[in-house]
Chains A and B, each alone.
Chain A
Amino acid sequence: MNLHGIHLEGLRKRYGEGDTAVDALKGVDMEVSPGEVVGLIGPSGSGKSTLLKCLGAVIEPTGGRMRLGSEIIYDDRWHIRDLRALRRDQIGFVFQAPYLIPFLNVIDNVALLPMLAGRKNTAARDRAMELLEALDVAHRANAWPSQLSGGEQQRVAIARALVSHPPVILADEPTAPLDSERAMGVIRILNQMAEQYETAVIVVTHDEKIIPTFKRIYHIRDGRTHEEQGEGRLIA
C-alpha cells in the first residue's frame, strides 16, 4: 500500500448533539501533493486542530471524504479497519511541544516505532541516525531529551515523525516555542524532508515569521477552507 498525497472533499465534523452541537468543520476541501508543504492558518477556534485530528484518524469526521493517494480512508465512514496501524505507517506527527519520551535517549526516541514494530534494533537505530544527521542533531544522539535545547528537541521530534517514511506529516504549531531563527530552521527541514521523501506536509501555524515560507496556504474560517498562493520564500 503506497499512499500519496492528501485529498479532502467536503469534510465535516460536528461536536456534540442538539442545541449544544458545534460544527467545527462545515465542508473542508484540500489537496496536498507528495513533496509539498502547505500552511494551514486561521483564527482561534476555526477548526485547525479538529482538521488535524480527523486527518490523523484520532477522531471520526461526521461526513465527507478523505483519501490518501488513491486509497479511500473515509467516506461517510471509516474505510480502514486498523486506524492505529494507519497512524503508525502512514502519518508522522509533530506537535507544538516535542513530547519526547523522557526515559529514552535521543536515538531511541527516534527509533522507537520501528523497534516496537519488530524491526531489528540496529536497523532502526541506523535509520534514526541517518535522520538525526540530516537534521543536524546526530552529535546529541545519546543525550536525554531533557538535556536538549527546545530547537534540538523539536528536530528530534521531526526525526521521530519521519522515521517510518510516512507519506503524510501533520505538524501542529511546530515552531511556537522557538525563536525565529530556529523556527526557520524547522521549516527548512520540513521542506527538505518533504522533497527528499516525497512527503505531503501540513503545517498548522499562527506564526507570522513562517507564513511567507509556504507556496500554498489554506485559510480556515468558520469551518471552511479557502486556498491562497503563498510567497514560498525560504530564506537560506
Chain B
Amino acid sequence: MISLAGRDIQHSWGKFVFTGIGLGLLIGVTLSMAGIYRGMVDDAKALLDNSGADMWVVQQSTLGPYAEPSSLKDDLYRSILTVPGVERAANVTYLTMQVRHGDRDVRAMVAGIVPDGIGSPGWPMTLIAGRQITRSHYEAVADAASGFKIGDQIKIRRNRYTVVGLTRRMVSSNGDPMIFIPLKDAQEAQFLKDNDEIIRQRQRTASNPALNPPGMPAVLQAVIDSQSTSPYVNAVLVRIKPGSRPDEIADTIRRWRRLQVYTRPQMEGILVGKLIATSARQIAMFLVILAVVSAAIVAFIIYTLTLGKIREIAVLKLIGTRNRTIAGMILQQAIGLGLIGFAVGRIAAGFWAPVFPKYVLLIPGDSVRGFFAVVIICSLASILAIRAALKVDPAEAIGG
C-alpha cells in the first residue's frame, strides 16, 4: 500500500512545514493557556502546602484568609491549642500590597508569622539562601520571584525590613511573591492607624465622659492603650497530631468556638473552585477561541491544497481510485499538518513557558489531551476539502 498523503507531504515539505510552524505557534499559545491555568492551580496548592497547616481557623461565615477578609482576636489560638488532637496553632496575617524595592514597587503578599521557632505553621518551609527570621522585628524572608536579595531593604508602610532569607515558589494564589515578616510588624502594617487618626481617636476618647471619667486619668490611659494595640490576625493555622481525624477536630473547633474551620481539601476547594474560577473560565474561553481559529486555519489550508489538486483528483477517480482512498489522503494530510503543528507548538510552549511572569505548568496530561484535540480538530477541518474532492466529476478528467 502507498500513502498518497505521506508522499504529497514529502514532496511539498516546505509548504507543510511552513504552515505547520504557523499552526504550531497557535497550538503553543493554546498549550500555554492551559499551562497558565495549571500553574494557578499549582500555585494555590503550593500556597497551602507551604503554609504547613492542616486546618485554617477563620472568622465566622467568611472564606478567609485567602479568598475573603477575615479577622480574629490574636489570643484565640491559645484556646484552640487545648482542643484534643491539635499539635500546634499559630497566628498568621496575610496582606497583598505594594512594597517598595529601591525606587520601584513590587506587588507582594506579606505574611505575618509568629517568630517562635522553625517549623511552626505559616513559616516558610525551605530557604534557598540565608536564614529564617530570628528577631521579632524588622527582618524579612522574601520569595526570590520578588527580586529581593539577601541584605536588601524592603519598605512596607512606614517601616524598613532587612531581607535575611530567600524562598522559592512561595506565591499567593494570584501568583504574587510572598514576603514573610514577624507577626507584630505585620499586624501593625495591616491594622495600625496612622498618626493623625490616632490623635483624632485620642481626642474622641478623651471627650467621651464614659471613657474619661473626671478625676481618674488612669482609665483614659488604659482605654487608649487598648485601642492602639492591634490584637487581630487573619487566621489561625492549625497542625494536628499524626493519626488524628481532621474532620472531627474541625467539627469540635467549629462547635466549641463558633468559628469557621477549613480542612485542607476544603481550603483547596475554595482556592481552586472559587478564587481562580473566573480566571479559569476566562482561559477556557480563550481555549475555545483558539481551537476554532486553529480549525479554521487547518480547514482553509487543506481546502486550498485540495483545490490545487482537483485535476489530479479527477484523474484518480477516473482511473478507479476509491473515494475512501481520496478522502483518506486529505484526512491524513490534515492530521499530518496537525502533528507538525503539535510538535512545533509543544516545543514552543516549553521554550517560552519560563519567560512568563506567572508560573506556567505544562503537564503531560494536557499535552496528551491537546494532541487528541488537534487530531479531532484537523479531522473535522478536512471535511470541507473532502466534500469538495468527492464532488469532483471523474468526467472532468476527460474534458470536452
Q: What CA separation (Å) do A115 and B9 show in the bound complex?
A: 19
Give the distance to chain B from A217, nearest Cβ to Cβ, in Å: 21
Residue numbers in A under 8 Å from B397 (CB-CB)? 93, 95, 99
The answer to whether B1 touches A116 (Cβ under 8 A) is yes
Q: What CA separation (Å) do A101 and B239 show in the bound complex?
A: 73
Known: A59-B395, A103-B12. A121 touches B315 (CB 8 A): no
Residue numbers in A under 8 Å from B399 (CB-CB)? 49, 95-96, 172
- Within the complex, which residue of B2, B394, B400 is in contact with A112, where a contact is CB–CB below 8 Å? B2
Restricting to B1-48, which residues have a CB under 8 Å from any CB of A?
1-2, 4, 7-8, 10-12
Q: Encode contact with B along A79-121: 1 for CB under 8 Å, 0 otherwise.
A: 0000011111100110110010111100010011101101001
Asked if A53 CB lies within 8 Å of chain B CBs, one says: yes
Residue numbers in A under 8 Å from B1 (CB-CB)? 115-116, 118, 121
Restricting to B363-400, which residues have a CB under 8 Å from any CB of A?
393-395, 397-400
Residue numbers in B under 8 Å from A161 (CB-CB)? 319
The answer to whether A53 touches B395 (Cβ under 8 A) is yes
Known: A58-B393, A113-B319. A93 touches B11 (CB 8 A): no
CB closest chain-A residue, reference B317: A84
The answer to whether B7 touches A87 (Cβ under 8 A) is no
Q: What CA separation (Å) do A52 and B322 show in the bound complex?
A: 21
Asked if A160 CB lies within 8 Å of chain B CBs, one says: yes
Q: What CA separation (Å) do A111 and B1 show in the bound complex?
A: 11
The answer to whether B11 touches A102 (Cβ under 8 A) is yes
CB closest chain-B residue, reference A144: B11
Residue numbers in B under 8 Å from A34 (CB-CB)? none
Asked if A167 CB lies within 8 Å of chain B CBs, one says: no
Known: A56-B318, A160-B319. A95 touches B398 (CB 8 A): yes
Q: What CA separation (Å) do A144 and B254 show in the bound complex?
A: 81
Asked if B312 CB lies within 8 Å of chain A CBs, one says: yes
Asked if B325 CB lies within 8 Å of chain A CBs, one says: yes
Q: What CA separation (Å) do A163 and B282 show in the bound complex?
A: 59
Q: What CA separation (Å) do A86 and B318 show in the bound complex?
A: 10
Q: What CA separation (Å) do A58 and B311 show in the bound complex?
A: 15
CB closest chain-B residue, reference A86: B320
CB closest chain-A residue, reference B321: A116
Residue numbers in B under 8 Å from A99 (CB-CB)? 311-312, 315, 397
Counting chain B CB atoms within 10 Å of each CB, the highest count among A93, A96, A115, A160 belongs to A93
- Within the complex, which residue of A49, A52, A103 is in contact with B8, where a contact is CB–CB below 8 Å? A103
Asked if B316 CB lies within 8 Å of chain A CBs, one says: yes
Restricting to A8-45, which residues have a CB under 8 Å from any CB of B?
none
CB closest chain-A residue, reference B320: A88
Give the distance to chain A from B384, nearest Cβ to Cβ, in Å: 21
The answer to whether A89 touches B320 (Cβ under 8 A) is yes
Q: What CA separation (Å) do A91 and B2 show in the bound complex?
A: 22
Residue numbers in A under 8 Å from B320 (CB-CB)? 84-89, 113
The answer to whether A172 touches B398 (Cβ under 8 A) is yes
Residue numbers in B under 8 Å from A59 (CB-CB)? 395
Known: A101-B312, A103-B7, A108-B7. A116 touches B395 (CB 8 A): no
The answer to whether B11 touches A121 (Cβ under 8 A) is no
Restricting to A44-81, which residues have a CB under 8 Å from any CB of B?
49, 52-53, 56, 58-59
CB closest chain-A residue, reference B10: A103
- Within the complex, which residue of B7, B317, B321, B322 is in contact with A104, where a contact is CB–CB below 8 Å? B7
Would you mind naming 6 contact pairs between A and B with Cβ atoms under 8 Å apart? A85-B320, A99-B397, A102-B11, A112-B2, A113-B321, A121-B2
- Supplied contacts A95-B315, A102-B11, 14 more A-B pairs, CB within 8 Å: A87-B318, A87-B319, A88-B320, A89-B320, A99-B311, A99-B315, A99-B397, A103-B11, A108-B7, A111-B2, A113-B319, A116-B325, A121-B1, A160-B319
